[in-house]
Each structure stands twice: as structure tokens, then as C-alpha cells.
């Protein structure tokens, strides 16, 4: 499940219970919307592709 922090707008993917934003430590976060989740997944894909390029 993808979450968005309401304080710092950091997005993170976690399985199971989340208590705090891993970036700022705020407990004020919410599940990401469908649009936000799509954006997050696109970003993740691009990021992993770039790191693959670097190691190749």
C-alpha cells in the first residue's frame, strides 16, 4: 500500500502497519489516491531503470 505524508508530502510503499512517515517522522499521513499511486509507481520504475543502467 502506498501512503502520502500530509506534512512533507513524502510517498512511501509499505506492507502492513505504518506508524510514522519514514522521512519526517510525522504520524499525519494517509493512503495515496489512485493518481498518486500511479505517479509513485512510474517514479519507482524510472528509478530502478536508471540504477540498472548505472550497474551495467
Where along the sequence are the contacts to Zn ion (CB under 5 A)?
5, 7-8, 10, 21, 23-24, 26
Minimal distance in Å, beta carbon 9 to Zn ion?
7
- Of 23 and 36, which CB lies nearer to Zn ion in the complex structure? 23
Q: Is residue 40 within 8 Å of 10, Cβ to Cβ?
A: no
The residues, ordered by sequence, that sit 6+ positions from 36 with a Cβ below 8 Å of its Cβ are 2, 4, 11
Q: Which is closer to Zn ion, CB of 27 or CB of 46?
A: 27
- Hey, what's the cell of 56? 551495467
* Cβ nearer to Zn ion, comparing 2 with 21: 21
Amino acid at each position: 500500500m502506498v501512503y502520502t505524508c500530509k506534512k512533507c508530502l513524502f510517498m512511501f510503499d509499505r506492507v502492513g502497519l505504518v506508524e510514522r512517515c519514514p522521512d519526517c517522522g510525522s504520524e499525519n499521513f494517509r493512503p495515496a489516491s489512485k493518481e498518486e499511486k500511479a505517479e509513485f509507481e512510474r517514479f519507482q520504475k524510472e528509478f530502478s531503470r536508471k540504477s540498472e543502467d548505472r550497474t551495467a
